[in-house]
Amino acid sequence: MPYQVTIQPSGHQFTVEDHETILEAALREGFSLPYGCRNGACGSCKGRVLSGQLDYGVYQPNALKDAEKAQGRALFCRARPLSDLTIEAKEIGAAKDIVVKTLPCRVEKLEKRADNVMVMKIKLPANERLQFLAGQYIDFQLKDGKSRSYSLANPPHDGALLELHIRHLPGGLFSDQVFSTLKERDILRLKGPLGSFFIREDSDKPMIFIAGGTGFAPVKGMLEHAFAAHMDREMVLYWGVRSLKDLYMAELPQQWVAEHPNFSFIPVLSNPEQGDPWQGRTGFVHEAVMADFANLSGYQVYACGTPIMVDRARDAFTQTRGLPEDAFFADSFVYAADAEIAPAA
Ligand code: FES
């Protein structure tokens, strides 16, 4: 039967279903407890049980010594409640709390969602999981010593495979490879998580998300995390692309609109093709936001796209719409990635 778990000192509560470990349920509900392998081997998820009974599950003795167990400690990636529980655990609230790892990974799935967008899913070794905050990115480390940055498009609670949206820019060393020679089961090397593009959860301000092209990837992860965490803040997504075919996952935000009354979705085409059956918004994506909001002083804005889009949005919102500088979030990786894979830009 489901049991209620209370985390101290935060007082956060969540329900653990029959088939779940404490960690799985916490992540599903959007609470970032620390973890590493999620397999009872590393000890990263260790915390204290203050009251209640649990099944400790199967784990490696080095990860939880008998003396620690006697002191009320448990591995939350393996443990399941046998009653309502109160646990003591440090919730991760900032990127600095997360260990950056360098790991091999295997290409699990390659799915072309548009002419120039590949959705790639990668898998880590059996005993490894990547802890991250929704919206962060990883670097692929290439043989020439260079690296390429890609945002994680999945939320942390859905982390068995890592999802990346890769835009093909001809001449881009890595993206050319992804669209030609890279195959499922190939091995790559990644470093992460990196970046500070994640939802500031200590605020209750409404949020505007602006995605340009594959800038949708981190925003997807952030929104899926927000929905799982039952955030009731107003959320609006503006997704700017050139033409209709570039909205490579439009069915997903449309589904979120149907499921979440606090979410709305406004796709914006900058250059619709002749024949696009389009009666929606057109123009630059930040201008659509400007048209809809006379005053952004009470909002947070999360933007991911080309450097030009991000700069224009920041300047326009802070200079003409009253958005505080510290309420605009965009990750600098877009600059690095863009420079590396789009030298002609
Ligand atoms: S022992 Fe590694 S995450 Fe639990």
Tens digit of pLDDT for each residue in 128-184? 889 999 999 999 998 878 888 899 999 999 989 999 999 998 888 899 999 999 999
Query: Among the listed ranges 92-101, 120-129, 262-271, 335-344, which one has the minimum average pLDDT value?
Result: 335-344
The CB of 41 under 6 Å from ligand 1? The reply is: yes
The CB of 34 under 6 Å from ligand 1? The reply is: no
User: 122 C-alpha to center of ligand 1: Å?
Assistant: 20
Q: What is the mean pLDDT of residues 274-293?
A: 95
Q: Above pLDDT 90, what percent of the chain? A: 74
User: 270 C-alpha to center of ligand 1: Å?
Assistant: 46
Angle (CA) 281-210-220 rounded to 5° is 110
Q: What is the mean pLDDT of residues 193-222?
A: 94
pTM: 0.83
Tens digit of pLDDT for each residue in 30-59? 888 888 788 888 888 999 999 999 999 999
The CB of 208 under 6 Å from ligand 1? The reply is: no
Range(s) within the chain of domains with CATH label 3.40.50.80: 207-332
* pLDDT over 50 at 339, yes or no: no
User: 17 C-alpha to center of ligand 1: Å?
Assistant: 19
331 in Cβ contact with 309 (< 8 Å): no
Q: Which of 192, 177, 195, 101 is nearest to 139 (CA)?
A: 192
- Looking up tokens 């990860």 gives 63
* pLDDT over 90 at 62, yes or no: no
Range(s) within the chain of domains with CATH label 2.40.30.10: 96-194
Given the CA of residue 64, which atom of ligand 1 is nearest to it? Answer: 1
pLDDT given for residue 143 in this prediction: 81
pLDDT given for residue 342 in this prediction: 29
Q: How far out from the chain centre does Cα 205 lie?
A: 20
The CB of 35 under 6 Å from ligand 1? The reply is: yes
Report, at the CATH architecture level, how domain 3-91 is classified: Roll (3.10)
Range(s) within the chain of domains with CATH label 3.10.20.30: 3-91
| Choice from 21, 68, 75, 101 to test ligand 1 binding pocket (greatest atom count within 8 A of CB) | 75
* pLDDT over 90 at 99, yes or no: no
User: 234 C-alpha to center of ligand 1: Å?
Assistant: 35
pLDDT given for residue 155 in this prediction: 96
User: 143 C-alpha to center of ligand 1: Å?
Assistant: 31
The CB of 195 under 6 Å from ligand 1? The reply is: no
* pLDDT over 70 at 223, yes or no: yes
pLDDT given for residue 343 in this prediction: 25
Amino acid found at 187: I
Q: What is the mean pLDDT of residues 286-301?
A: 98
223 in Cβ contact with 211 (< 8 Å): no
CATH domain 207-332 topology: Rossmann fold (3.40.50)
* pLDDT over 50 at 334, yes or no: no
Q: Which of 77, 74, 69 is nearest to 27 (CA)?
A: 77
* pLDDT over 60 at 335, yes or no: no
Band (pLDDT 50/70/90 cuts) for residue 332 is low
User: 271 C-alpha to center of ligand 1: Å?
Assistant: 48
Q: Exposure pattern of 316-339 as b/e (b: 16+ CB <10 Å)?
A: bbbeebebeeebbbbbebbebbbe
**Average pLDDT of the chain?**
91
pLDDT given for residue 313 in this prediction: 93
Question: CATH number of the domain at 96-194, please?
Answer: 2.40.30.10
- Residue 194 in tokens: 């990196």
- Looking up tokens 């967008």 gives 117
The CB of 44 under 6 Å from ligand 1? The reply is: yes
